[in-house]
Structure 1
Amino acid sequence: MNTNNQETSIEQYEFEPIKGYPMLNWKGKRPFRSTQFYPAQIKETYGDSINGWINKIFWGDNLQVMSHLLKEYRGKIKLIYIDPPFDSKADYKKKISLRGKNVLNDHNSFEEKQYTDIWSNDDYLQFMYERLILIKELLSEDGNIFVHCDEEKNYQLRCILDEIFSPSNFRNEIIWKRSTSTGLSTKKCGALHDTIYWYSKSQNYTFNMQYHEYDEKYLKRARKDENDRLYIPIPTGNPGPRPNLYYNYKGYWPHQNGYKWTYEKMEEFDKEGRLIFPDDKKGRIQYKQYLDEMQGVKLQDIWLDIPAVNPVAQERNGYPTQKPEALLERIIKMGSNAGDLIFDCFMGSGTTQAVAMKTGRRFLGTDINLGAIQTTTKRLIKASNDLEIENPDQEIEAVTLYTGFSISNVNNYDVFRNPVQAKEILIEALEIQPILNNAVYDGEKDGKMVKIMPVNRIATRADLNELITNFDYKLFEKRQQEHPNQPVEKLLLICMGHESDLAAALEQEVGYKLDVEVVDILRDKSNLEFRRDSEAEILVEDNKLIINNFYPMNLLQKLSIMKENVEDWKELVESIIIDWNYDGAVLEPTVVDIPDKNEVVTGIYNIPESSGTIRIKITDLLSESLEVSIDNG
């Protein structure tokens, strides 16, 4: 019997060692040269796929999510923007208010920590180092990465980016003026800007020049021609010491401000009425540059024209560190083209994903914070609905809009209510080769036959009966005769907790020598995480789905500490979504009950005649969710 408790090996992704560039060192710096695969458990879908594509949002640690993405998207993502933790030495919190109550003070609200941005220096640098290596693996050869940071760590992040991407692929240090004022200290100047580092994967990178509007001083120079068309008279250039380089046209000096005009071109402009001749023959010709032909001022590396999201802005969703859509629109349009794949692995409130959707890009996104997943989901549902109303043909300016998206878990697997899906996840996570239509085994791995035991409880001796009954004893007898000193079968039992004598009991009951290895997921694969639900009282009555009560355990505990009186369970609910014909795996809601800030969910819903298995997802104010299925057949 094999008693080896080593972690079961699974597929490894190896990276080329980083070498040859300046390197930043810190205490405990570790090479990061490989990672393991994590499966994704799809939970919800909104909208339809377009041209075979549906956008994807993942809940999980972005290191594990990117490890998952390597299998399908390695070298395929055109643009990655990240707004990672800044090591700001702060806890970022979101104000949570009970639904349907006028919050005049703090009695009906509290702050919930969204994420902690407090690190030791070395942990932070290792954290970013590993994720930037994975980002490079995911980027296409013509791809770009934009890293948003502030003065706390920008110099160290640039050193790491140089090490991973090479100084030769540094494109810009962009300065974004995010504020017009700050709380000034008597000890230092106020900080009004953030830094955005732009690197490419190679020298062959995507770039589309962006423009911003002309300032008022420049526009005051505009004049109207005889057709009331506005133009800017381009100033005359100085012929300098070598006038033979300039063309004499009708006895005037044509201006030469960067234009290498031929005599023929001058004639063409003259026929178009674009030339302005001075009264003095010694003067120089001016050129009419029409404003409707001008794209604007070419973008430079200091961005002063995009303000931060103000507290009353329509796009404000209450998420800390939310960035303006205009900022992401500029970055995405500059570094990618319509239809390209965009990724943000520190998704936050979903600004990158919302802008990608609105500009005809495909997108991926991930965040470890449940609040971010909920905020982004609500935002994308609204953006998708708005786009479909405005553009029912799923196109804008001949660009295809990708409005459908799915939500998946990577790790944090919710498998206890669905044994079939649990088996699929475990088979994928452990790299088991599945065996179809086999009454005894679920798969094969490393020469061993695999049996997955019940996943919603610990495995007991009674759970061995199915194996014992279905073993091929004639085959066992033949193998024993051919090789008396060898086991007749090599087995791998996968379980979530088990009785200590499980392997010995199986061999004793069978009566043949077996090689049995027991893999306890909760112990041997502790890097895989599983979760359980809150509770609710739900019933079907008179063709109506009625939610009588809802008990979000973590939220109720926080409220009890505050001694807050909750009169109605609806005050605790952020949203309810319902799939009237749940397929047992993926939620495809037709009811999306997301009330406005001062409203509450309905709680009673008419059941359509065609409904079968009903799946209800209730999300509380902490963005924690309960999912319940009801058979209406």
Structure 2
Amino acid sequence: MRNRPDNHLYYGDNLRVLREHVADASVDLIYLDPPFNSNASYNILFKSPAGTGSDAQIEAFQDTWHWNDSAEDAFDQVGRSGHVATFDLLNAMRRFLGENDMMAYLTMMAVRLLELHRVLKDSGSLYLHCDPTASHYLKLLLDGVFGKRQFANEIVWCYRRYTAASNRYQRLHDTLLFYSKSDTRTFNDVRVPYGESSGQRDSHYKQDEDGRWFRWQKRRDQEPYRIYLSEGVRLGDWWDLPIINASSHERLGYPTQKPVALLERIVAASSNEGDVVLDPFCGCGTAIHAAQKLGRHWIGIDVTHLAISLIEKRMQAAFPDAAFTVEGTPKDIASAEDLARRDKYQFQWWAVSMIDAVPYGGRKKGADGGIDGLIYFKPDGRRTDKAIVSVKGGDNVGVTMIRDLHSAMTREGAPIGVFVTRVPPTRPMLREATAVGRFEDGFGRTYARLQILTVADLFAGKRPDLPYPDPTAAFRRAAREDTGRQGSLL
């Protein structure tokens, strides 16, 4: 029987996933970069191949919260949890803030922080990544959940960028709140290297017989010992690391992507090889990338199929031999039907990912012009063309939908269209698709211009019939990692 991989990627609400799939005291390190309650919408950017127009964007998530029945239920769950200190703090915040968007956000975070505390080992730590929007409230909640004694550091991550601020100083840092579950936290002496030449300007440093710069360190009742410049200096709580800019080789197009170097520091300092790292808001997967690179096991959770699909591609490109499961995504017709009933947009994004298409459009009605995805292909091996994808998850499909897709193909200049349907197509739909004709690739081979695939076809392994499809054409591909070299922690 094949062994189950140690690494797991979950699609779903992280509160449910934590409760159903993550055992008590099973995780060594938690990093979370939750929404900041910034009241903004964030888009994933997909690059367009040369000659096909501008880049495409699709809304990844809205960082906006509202006080509603779900927030009230989460508040009640904290009250019933038995964590008196946490509920007292949350209740005091509610009296101070009222029932508004900020309170809804804090309530959502509080009930999840309790679960994260449960799954941590006694030697485990948590790093919560935030900005000034709610960091002061989150620190209070963490004091309530972990106890103020377990606060270790407030780490300031500084970076340089231009921000348009006319009546305040530019905001050029994020905050990481570092807590542990007990006094026996795992913590490694991660050092920042610096040039050996710096010692030549300091009279305290000397050179040894091998030419290495060192200085003597003397502690009370101990013999003097040498400290070498090449060993680096211990990390402080102020980290100057560049953000991922538009030209960075790391950039994958995800709106809140953080640099791998930032996560490598955290993983190296607060876990050991073979430990389990958890990211419950894993986005495009930077934390699990760092964990895989440094020889840790990992668990990633995200609530959108866009993120899950992007992480799958990232891990497969950077670590071709990495073994991991993807759970919570449809694995059969019944689960696909369930997803279609619950959230038609997530169903669309899942179906698009199944055929290696780029998602297109978003949640605004009519914004996509009838297009849910794009597949790029090279009919002559050089020129790039595109196929338009339309996904329908409802019970009723008809010939009008085929005509609409044909119209979109004409409007967009796309030689091929792919219609993905949850239910079987009708005979008139099949006849209408056939009437659209055939596409010739220049080598005497022809392809149906309008192709219909069912969800059953997708599970059977059937895919669009295209000449030289290029599934990587519009995705920013992660560079392959050399796992034998763990790299700099600068």
Match of 2:13 in 1: 61
Residue aligning to 1:116: 62
Taking the aligned partners of 1:324 and 1:357, their CA distance within structure 2 comes to 15
Matched residue, 2:236: 300
Greater than 6 Å deviation, 4+ residue runs: 554-563, 570-573, 617-623
Q: Distance in 2 between matches of 1:343 and 1:94?
A: 23
Give the aligned partner of residue 615 of structure 1.
461
User: What's the counterpart of residue 276 of structure 2?
Assistant: 341
1:406 maps onto 2:293 in alignment: no
Aligned counterpart for 2:191 among listed residues 211, 230, 243: 211
Question: Partners of 2:351 and 2:274 in 1: how far apart?
Answer: 40
**Closer, same or farther in 2 for the Cα pair 1:558/1:174, shift >3 Å?**
farther
- Describe the shift of the 1:52–1:64 C-alpha distance in structure 2 as closer, same or farther (beyond 3 A): closer
Q: 1:260 aligns with which of 210, 221, 225?
A: 221
User: What CA distance in whole angstroms lies between the structure 2 residues aligned with 1:155 and 1:560?
Assistant: 53
CA distance in 1, matches of 2:302, 2:290: 17
Question: Do the aligned residues in 1 keep the contact of 2:125 with 2:185 (CA within 8 Å)?
Answer: yes
Question: What is the aligned-residue identity percentage?
Answer: 29
Q: Once the two structures are superposed, what CA deviation does each residue of 1:207-261 show, in whole Å capped at 9, x if it has no partner? A: 1121112366456435544x44222344xxxxxxxxxxxxxxxxxxxxx743533
CA distance in 2 between counterparts of 1:197 and 1:350 reads 20
Instruction: Please state if 1:232 is matched with 2:184.
Output: no
Identify which range, 117-126 or 181-190, moves more after superposition.
Answer: 181-190
Distance of 1:167 and 1:559 partners within structure 2: 62
Q: Displacement of 1:205 after TM fit?
A: 1.3
Pick the aligned partner of 2:127 from 131, 134, 146. Answer: 146
Deviation digits for residues 135-187 of structure 1 (CA, Å, limit 9, x no counterpart): 1111111111100000111000001111111101111111111x224325231
Can you list the C-alpha shifts for 1:414-460, whole angstroms capped at 9, x where unaligned?
64x26xxx6xxxxxxxxxxxxxxxxxxxxxxxxxxxxxxxx97xxxx
| Counterparts of 2:256 and 2:7, CA distance in 1 | 24
TM-score norm. by structure 1 comes to 0.49
Partner of 2:294: 359
Aligned to 1:191: 171
Structure 1 SS opposite 2:175: strand
The residue matched to 1:207 in structure 2 has which SS?
Answer: coil
* Structure 2 residue identity aligned to 1:147: L
Query: Contact 2:277/2:297 (CA < 8 Å) preserved in 1?
Result: yes
d(CA) in 2 for partners of 1:80 and 1:115?
22
Whole-angstrom distance in 1 between the partners of 2:131 and 2:405? 33
- Trace 1:509-548 onto structure 2 (pairs within 5 A): none
SS at match of 1:85: coil
Matched with 1:82 is: 32
Q: Structure 1 residues 58 and 522 mapped into 2: Cα distance closer, same or farther (>3 Å)?
A: closer
Q: Secondary structure of the residue that 2:319 maps to in structure 1?
A: helix
The answer to whether the 8 Å contact 1:572/1:620 transfers is no
Q: Distance in 2 between matches of 1:136 and 1:335?
A: 16
Query: What is the alpha-carbon distance in structure 1 between the residues aligned to residue 142 and residue 51 of structure 2?
Result: 48
The one-letter code matched in structure 1 to 2:138 is L
Relative to structure 1, the CA distance from residue 330 to residue 357 in structure 2 (aligned partners, 3 Å threshold; closer, same or farther) is same
Could you tell me which of 175, 182, 187 is aligned with 2:156?
175
Distance change in 2, residues 1:148/1:571 (3 Å)? farther
CA distance in 1, matches of 2:346, 2:262: 37
* Contact 1:229–1:290 (Cα < 8 Å) also in 2: no
Query: Which amino acid in 1 is paired with 2:11?
Result: W
Which residue number corresponds to residue 372 of structure 1? Answer: 307
- Of the candidates 412, 421, 436, which is equivalent to residue 565 of structure 1? 412
In the other structure, the counterpart of 1:200 is: 180
Q: Distance in 2 between matches of 1:559 and 1:162?
A: 58
Report the CA distance shift for 1:53/1:114 in structure 2 as closer, same or farther (over 3 A): same
Counterpart amino acid of 1:229?
G
Q: Which structure's residues are more often strand, by fraction?
A: 1
* Separation (CA, whole Å) in 2 of partners of 1:331 and 1:129: 23
Q: 1:68 to 1:327 in 2, by over 3 A?
A: same
Deviations, residues 351-391 of structure 1 (Å, cap 9, x unaligned): 11111111110011011121111111011001222xx5xxx
Q: Distance in 2 between matches of 1:361 and 1:259?
A: 38
Alpha-carbon spacing, 1:312–1:530, altered in 2? closer, same or farther (3 Å): closer
Q: Distance in 2 between matches of 1:622 and 1:370?
A: 17
Q: Secondary structure at the match of 2:300?
A: strand
On the 8 A contact 2:390/2:405 being kept in 1, the answer is no
- Map of 1:553 onto structure 2: 391
1: CA distance, partners of 2:21 / 2:173: 33
Change (3 A) 1:622 1:554: farther
In 2, the alpha carbon distance for the partners of 1:299 and 1:218 equals 19
Residue identity in the other structure for 2:253: G
In the other structure, the counterpart of 2:140 is 159
Structure 1 residues 194 and 562, CA, compared in 2 at 3 Å: closer, same or farther?
farther
How well do the aligned residues superpose, as a CA RMSD in angstroms?
Answer: 4.2
Secondary structure at 1:300's aligned position in 2? coil
Name the structure 1 match of 2:365.
none
Query: What SS class does the counterpart of residue 461 from structure 2 fall into?
Result: strand
The answer (yes or no) to whether the contact 1:552–1:620 under 8 Å persists in 2 is: no
Q: Which of the residues 300, 319, 325 maps onto 2:254?
A: 319
Aligned with 2:412: secondary structure? coil
Q: Distance in 1 between matches of 2:295 and 2:235?
A: 22
Residue 570 of structure 1, CA deviation: 8.5
**Tell me, what secondary structure is at the counterpart of 1:567?**
coil
Which amino acid in structure 1 is aligned with residue 60 of structure 2? Q
Question: Which of 252, 261, 264 is 1:329 aligned to?
Answer: 264
Query: d(CA) in 1 for partners of 2:118 and 2:263?
Result: 22
For 2:109 and 2:287, locate their aligned partners in 1 and report how far apart those are by CA, in whole Å: 19
Q: CA deviation at 1:617?
A: 6.6
Amino acid at match of 1:114: A
Secondary structure of the residue aligned to 1:552 is strand
The two structures have a TM-score, normalised by structure 2, of 0.62
Q: Residue type of the partner of 1:55? A: N
Q: Tell me, in whole angstroms, the C-alpha distance in 2 between the residues paired with 1:559 and 1:136.
A: 53
Higher gyration radius (CA): 1
Q: Answer yes or no: is the 8 Å Cα contact 1:80–1:342 preserved in 2.
A: yes
Unaligned runs of at least 5 residues, structure 2: 66-100, 356-385, 394-400, 421-448, 450-458, 465-470, 476-490
Q: d(CA) in 2 for partners of 1:115 and 1:86? A: 12
User: Contact (CA 8 Å) 1:97, 1:103: kept in 2 or not?
Assistant: no
Q: Is the 8 A contact 2:387 2:418 kept in 1?
A: no
The answer to which structure has the higher helix fraction is 2
Kept in 2, the 8 Å contact 1:146–1:196? The answer is yes
Q: In structure 1, the residue corresponding to 2:171 is in which secondary structure?
A: coil
- Matched letter for residue 171 of structure 1: A
1:315 Cα deviation from its structure 2 partner: 1.7
Distance, in Å, in 2 between the alignment partners of 1:67 and 1:621 is 38
Distance 1:55 1:172, change over 3 A: same
